[in-house]
């Protein structure tokens, strides 16, 4: 029972961080990826779902081309983000199993792989859905199609930040868990 309460509390903290990180450019995805490399599949799926809903809420407040496309097609930010956490979790687990020797490399590399895969999946799915289902949604003369290079550059920046930050934060989370018994 105590373990389940800790899991629910951690999930709630990660959802709150997702809300807060939504206001920080390129950091929005960090809590989702952190869940993927420090918790379980179910929690990463819950965080991915929350990430999609929070993305839609932020789109309702924003005025960018992507925000307008999300408002016009509210299912895109939600459906487009469902696989992010599970894909990152799967990549993390595969990389973790592939490395046999214990050490710093084993504790960092699988988390970097999980963060990279989650970030790439997020960008690939969301940009693809926007191009397929909202290509002409736009703001003045800038449509989704015209905005694709900006989205891809932003995705690359986000990828670099996630690969650098997620493993570092995950290691800190692991140390806190070890001190607190789980």
Q: Which tens digit of pLDDT belongs to each residue from 121-156?
A: 999 999 999 999 999 998 888 999 999 999 999 999
**Per-residue pLDDT tens over the stretch 101-123:** 888 899 899 999 999 999 999 99
With CA atoms as reference, report the closest residue to 29 among 17, 12, 45: 17
The tokens of 65 are what?
């081309």
pLDDT digits (tens, 9 = 90+) for 20-36: 998 898 999 999 999 99
Question: Which pLDDT band holds residue 63 (cuts at 50, 70, 90)?
Answer: confident
């Amino acid at each position: 029972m105590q373990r389940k309460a800790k899991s629910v509390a951690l999930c709630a903290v990660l959802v709150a961080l997702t809300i807060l990180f939504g206001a920080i450019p390129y950091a929005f995805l960090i809590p989702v990826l952190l869940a993927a490399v420090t918790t379980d599949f179910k929690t990463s799926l819950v965080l991915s779902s929350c990430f999609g809903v929070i993305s839609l809420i932020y789109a309702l407040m924003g005025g960018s081309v992507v925000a307008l496309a999300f408002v016009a097609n509210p299912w895109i930010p939600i459906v487009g983000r469902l696989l992010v956490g599970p894909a990152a979790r799967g990549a993390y687990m595969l990389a973790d199993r592939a490395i046999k020797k214990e050490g710093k490399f084993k504790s960092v590399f699988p988390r970097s792989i999980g963060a990279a895969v989650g970030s790439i999946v997020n960008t690939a799915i969301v940009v693809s859905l926007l191009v397929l289902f909202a290509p002409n949604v736009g703001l003045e003369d800038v449509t989704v199609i015209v905005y694709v290079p900006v989205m891809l550059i932003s995705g690359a920046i986000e990828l670099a930040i996630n690969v650098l930050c997620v493993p570092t934060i995950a290691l800190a989370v692991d140390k806190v868990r070890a001190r607190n018994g789980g």
